Chain A
């Protein structure tokens, strides 16, 4: 019994982060990030390709804290939103392939983070919410794409139905960490950010800045189901 528990605990340690069976390093995959070393990022209003009109609004502000935690200076989306609306720049479609020098001029931003919401749908039977979002970080200086990754994340919302034991306990802990004020729609976007941005090289304010070139890069399209 004791052995089984030990084996389980050790196994749990190894599987908990998922494997990244790839030998491509971050420096190989995202050379532009290391060449240009952007300091400041402006979050562009998401491009919504789904019929779920509110997805853009739900998702827009969720990128702010994870990008700050990566070590970047991030312009507050609550402030830039007003600017974009005043300047009729709320539709990022106009800029995703276009000239970004204006954002350098007006904001001083080194890079612009575009997101394309490709899917945002609820499966009513299973109680799951699936989001598919593409992320694209472009330089305002050279226009080159510095980082590009996509995530398909399914949030299983049917968890708190008496799973019991420690599984239920962990799930409840996670659910409690996410405040009750947030809808699960916001949560899905946040989870997707965590997965997709995990490969983004660290910025100036992170302790890992300039030290993560040799880290193994994950898949270009991340797929996961989270509870």
Chain B
């Protein structure tokens, strides 16, 4: 009985300490975005490229945050990466999706698209 109470208390404490400061109501699901993208940009390689593309696809396709939509800049980043790795048409399509989802990005993203289309 005593052990049970102790165990419950510890579990309750862990639950409190992990939820009270860090909000569980995240707007977006990021998965390992920060680490994977940082590592790729630091040392680009074919192996890392595959990982980074997979990461972008996950963030784009599986959003469980409160906004249930793709985070700002993500479509643009993924589109730009596709363009740089030879998939220009598909990349530009993603960049246009960024503008559609976030109209405030239009000035900047359409400037990049123009440069890429040259």
CA of A205 to CA of B5, assembled, Å: 42
CA of A74 to CA of B67, assembled, Å: 15
Q: Which of A26-34, A75-83, A112-120 contacts B (4 or more CB under 8 A)?
A: A75-83
B37 to chain A, nearest CB (A): 7
A196 to chain B, nearest CB (A): 14
Q: Once the chains bind, are B111 and A74 in contact (CB under 8 Å)?
A: no
Known interface pairs A8-B13, A9-B12, A69-B27; A173-B18 also in contact (CB < 8 Å): yes
CA of A206 to CA of B32, assembled, Å: 22
Q: Indicate the size class of the contact surface on chain B.
A: 35 or more
Residues of A within 8 A of B9 (CB): 5-6, 8-9
Known interface pairs A75-B105, A108-B107; A179-B32 also in contact (CB < 8 Å): yes
Q: Which of B13, B25, B74, B111 has the most CB of A within 10 A?
A: B13
**A35-60 CB contact bits vs B (8 Å, 1 = yes)?**
00001100000000000000000000
Q: Which of B41, B71, B73, B106 has the most CB of A within 10 A?
A: B73
Known interface pairs A61-B38, A108-B108; A207-B16 also in contact (CB < 8 Å): no
Which residues of B line the A interface, CB within 8 A? 2, 5-6, 9-10, 12-14, 16-18, 20-21, 25-28, 30, 32-39, 41, 66-67, 71-74, 76-77, 80, 102, 104-108, 111-112
